[in-house]
Structure 1
């Protein structure tokens, strides 16, 4: 028995009820590159401290293979609001509320697509997870075994970030027709993006 799905156009309208700022992209236009995770390993203070981030997230090779199993995706854009209690150098805490909104919304978009018959729907977030004040790897000495991922307190909602999975976010957004630039100051307004794959 075939799964009944609504059309992509109807699904897109339904998803815009969850989050209005969406843009469709072909799964083939999502760019994956090996260098991206080096930015996590050598540029992010949260490296190895969150289950949605390396080394726990999918590798670029895994992400590329997964993308081949999808036709389209939706990119969700969010305007970030900074918390002035934290300096921009502590980006994760500086944007905590906005990151949390991205993660919750991507989960809801994925769920809405699933309920509309797109059972393969899968979301990718931006930046490290914020569902908990501290993540399991932060609470333990050294790296944790991948089997400990089952201890995640929000296993049903945690999804990897795009960059943690090797997705070149800038190149992907460019292919989707988004107007973007590298910011030289957080005062210029930060936009965050998430992705939900569909088939």
Structure 2
């Protein structure tokens, strides 16, 4: 029954190759030998793309999303293990550190102040928190810049207008 299901799940050409195998194990080994290829070149390519990725003229969200897609695809090739002794937590901390450093390295130089602040933190936060910190800094910088321009515009328009002549205060002729 399982052999029938496998044979109907694969293409006709491949089924013709394995249909005369006696056991599921023999079919599986034959298919595995033919189609199970190393993921090394693909993993290398993903790592190379992630390492070379820089923010340049991309906005911060686009840059981070592209990095995250590469990291997630790369993570698909890592075996997952359950560990009750804390080793997995240490490994995850290492992966997080690697991602944080890679993200900060690719940022434009305009983010140097927030990069320096983050790197001074004893225990670096996870990549999502670091991304959030960078976004908040960007918003704060944008707000500060907008405020400075607004103040500059207000002061420049007030100095270019002629001074207002003072009007005399209203004076009541009845009670003085």
The TM tier, using the shorter chain, reads under 0.3
Greater strand percent: which structure? 1
Q: Which has the larger radius of gyration?
A: 2
Q: Which has the higher contact order (CA 8 A, sep 6+)?
A: 1
Provide the TM-score with structure 2 as the length reference: 0.25
Provide the TM-score with structure 1 as the length reference: 0.23
Greater helix percent: which structure? 2
